[in-house]
A and B are shown apart, each in its own frame.
Chain A
Amino acid sequence: MNFLSTQFWVLLISVLILTRLIRPVIHQKLILLAASCLFYAFWDWRFLGLLAVVTVVDYYVSVGMQGAHNEKTRKTLLAVSIASSLAILGFFKYFNFFTATFDSAASVLGVHLPELGILLPVGISFYTFESISYVMDVYHRKTEPAQSLLDYSVFIAFFPRLVAGPIMRAANFLPQLQHGIRLEPTGIIRGAQLFGQGLLKKIVVADTLALIVDQVYGSPWLYSSATVWLGVCSFAVQIYFDFSGYSDMALGIARILGFELPVNFNLPFTSQSFAEFWQRWHISLSTWLRDYLYFPLGGNQKGAWRTYFNLIVTMLLGGLWHGASWNFVLWGGLHGLALGLERAFTQDRPSKEWRISTSWFKALGIFLWVALTCVFFRSPSMEMAGQVFSKLAFIDPGGVVWFFYPAALYLLIVFIGGLLMRLKKIDLATMDYYQPYFFPVLAAEYLFIFLFATRNNSPFLYFQF
């Protein structure tokens, strides 16, 4: 079940009704847990056990760390927890990837590594990262352990963000859980605003752009170079609207229930540098990588070359997190390289006039870089990515052309619409609900979505991670 399915809304409304009837906080937590398990079971009930294993292991590790008297024991428990989380993630997500990669080497020795038909549990990349962040924060005493297994279970399984993030931190969520589900008019209105904004982004903008993108990436050799360029740029916009739309919906639903989740996107295509881009794009993942990978590796504290190395390794692993394929590793590596080069060559702070006058070009440059690296992200294989790049380089530029102009017009409308909203500071999610036009505008937003949602409803892109 996803946010657009009837079953989900039946589930959510049931939770809201039960919450009104059942007031004790502990019972509300049980309701949340039950709803989350049901939500996950609709995806694949077989992996509920896996979720339970991750939850139980990490909870008792955190309890153990809390009660341990020496550092060695605490470290051992930390290692056990991280190892178990990574083992589960590694097996389910990366086993076939590594066996395929090393098979060619192993075959020289006459050994063939097995390929297993392993199903990827939905949301595994997200909840394993949350569990790792939890135990590390408890170890470093940045947060207290969860007060009960129930609390921790709700944290891990919290359904609005279970399958595609944002990646929560226990320090932010667990205190909120102590008040249970809070149904307040303000929260419900703000939640509805956020959800509506997300819906607009996803099923009106992202799914319409998918019409162009799926055609171009399906058979790039059919299309002219200009059309392929358009498809490549459209994918960058599509993935932003798809993923930020999903995040908005998740935040909206959580808000309705009285919980604040971390913002995951903050106008990333206005970034003036690669570093700024990663502070605005998939913020929950980039901050996780920063806090639990980049900083432990030494961050920027061990000299310039070590900093570049840390950046590249962090982004390589960040790419690998997205998918078990060399495409994603290359994507991450390119971003790491860009970060490293930017750090190496832009030490001096330019003048304010220079920064203002070049802001558009920098934003465009960042966007183009993101769009080009996303070719690896979107292409099903390196071979296909190669086809796309050959078209982008105008090698054999001929192909179907008529699609280009209307598609370019649509992209321009999206760009101008976004720019106008930014300049006029129009934000559908934070509109003042005291204003008399608020409810008509909110109703109009939902009506617009119902009327103009494309028939081409594609699945949320980040569900595959």
Chain B
Amino acid sequence: MSASPSRKSYIHPGHGAGYWLIFARSAFLILLSFELVIRLFILKHSPVEYKPGWGIIHVRDSYSVHGLEGFAVTHYLDNGEIVTPYQDGISVVVLGDSTTKAAQIPNDSNYVSLTEIALRTRGIHADLHNLGLPDRSIADYVALGPYVQKEYAPEIVVLQVNPSQFFFARAENRPNHFVDAGNGVLKLVTDQPDQVHNLAFTNFISHSGLLTLLDFRARNLLISHSPGQNGTDLAGEGQPIPEIERPSKNKDPQLALRQYGEEILPQIKALQAAYPNSKLVFLVIPYTPTFPSSLDDKIGWISPDDHLLARTLFFMDDVYMIYTLDAFQDLYVSEYNLPRGTWNSAFNFGHLNSHGHAAVASELVKMLGNILSYTEENDETGK
């Protein structure tokens, strides 16, 4: 190499067009490599559109890649529905959050698809419609009711719920939320979402894996530096989750149960009113396991909020409820498998993995199998 650079420039003064050509070629090859790797293996969002009643949904026949946690390619049908193995049969709609969407595992391995396949092997031709999407509250499900009924006319609506969804339903800054109408009745307030005008930007960056990941990282950075925020959905599609007071923090368990009941019952009634022709099945998936910190402790399988929710739903009339706590414990005892965490996320803050989805599916199959078999028998006897 020649003499040391002058203090004024660290680029050798002799470099001309040849230097810049290689510079540009290097930059291009690097960007192309990033784009290919990210698009194929890390993150690629599908384009979205706004559909009245449905909100912002994935475009039909589009796909997204999610490799930040696990790896999967998700394909979409109408209304943001995630593809399942079968598209004919008795209509069952599954509403849920990112657990149901399961962007981190192959579509055929999520609990909705597994349930559909298992029901078929039992001779029950059910068509499960996976409408899982992060950041939906109970109010959103109620608002969706007429459109789901019109589009799918489901026999059964499975609602994968968590405690937050009942509380978010009261948040007035959300497009769909509940307000008290008196006498224990809730009124749904529906506002036009304000993300519509952002879709052009969202769809622009969705064409590039690199831009998508940059946007995702930048938003995570902003959120993590914002006060009062405690996280964001891993798919980057949800809003930051604000801190809310949990009834489970109440030291009086009876009071806690009553508080849950008082909050949940009107919302359950609102759901029943929104899906009058469908049986409602509530699916509660505890956010466990939690891990012991000393040799004397055991794995924690009970999440206080989820447990309280499950107990509250259990005592309600006219609802079906599935609580997957036992299935998760059996999974560990019999197979030494844990339901959460993927190859690149830890057990205690990950989404369900394929073992967890299989465990959930086994419970859902039993419930749906019973309901649909009972329905078929009644149809046959002419009741």
Contacts and interface: CB of A to CB of B under 8 A. Distances in A.
B226 interface: no
Contacts of A448: 34
B343 A440 contact: no
Contacts of B353: 402
A394 to B, nearest CB: 15
B48 to A, nearest CB: 22
Contacts of B1: 432, 434
A350 interface: no
Interface in B286-327: 291-293, 295, 299
B contact patch SS = loop
A401 B336 contact: yes
Interface in B324-380: 332, 336-338, 341-347, 353, 355
Contacts of A433: 10
B19 interface: yes
A224 interface: yes
Interface string B264-306: 0000000000000000000000000001110100010000000
A447 interface: yes
Contacts of B214: 450-451
Given A219-B291, A450-B217, A444 B30 contact: yes
B346 A456 contact: yes
Interface string A434-452: 1011011101100110110
A450 B225 CA distance: 16
Nearest to A387: B295
A47 B104 CA distance: 47
B12 interface: yes
Contacts of B26: 436-437, 440-441
Interface in A145-190: 184-186, 189
B346 A440 contact: no
Interface residues of A, number: 44
Given A406-B343, A451-B214, A440 B293 contact: no
Interface string A219-232: 10110100000000
Nearest to A227: B336
Contacts of B225: 6
A441 B27 CA distance: 8
A26 interface: no
A437 B23 contact: yes
Interface in A191-221: 208, 211, 214-215, 218-219, 221
Nearest to B289: A222
A432 B341 CA distance: 42
Q: Can you list the 9 inter-chain pairs with the closest CB atoms, starting with the nearest?
A: A406-B343, A436-B22, A437-B26, A440-B26, A185-B10, A440-B27, A436-B23, A444-B30, A436-B19
Given A215-B291, A401-B336, A434-B5, 11 more contacts: A218-B293, A387-B295, A400-B332, A401-B337, A405-B343, A407-B343, A410-B344, A436-B19, A436-B22, A444-B30, A455-B220
15 contacts: A214-B346, A219-B299, A383-B295, A402-B337, A406-B343, A406-B344, A409-B343, A434-B1, A437-B23, A437-B26, A444-B30, A447-B34, A450-B214, A451-B213, A456-B346
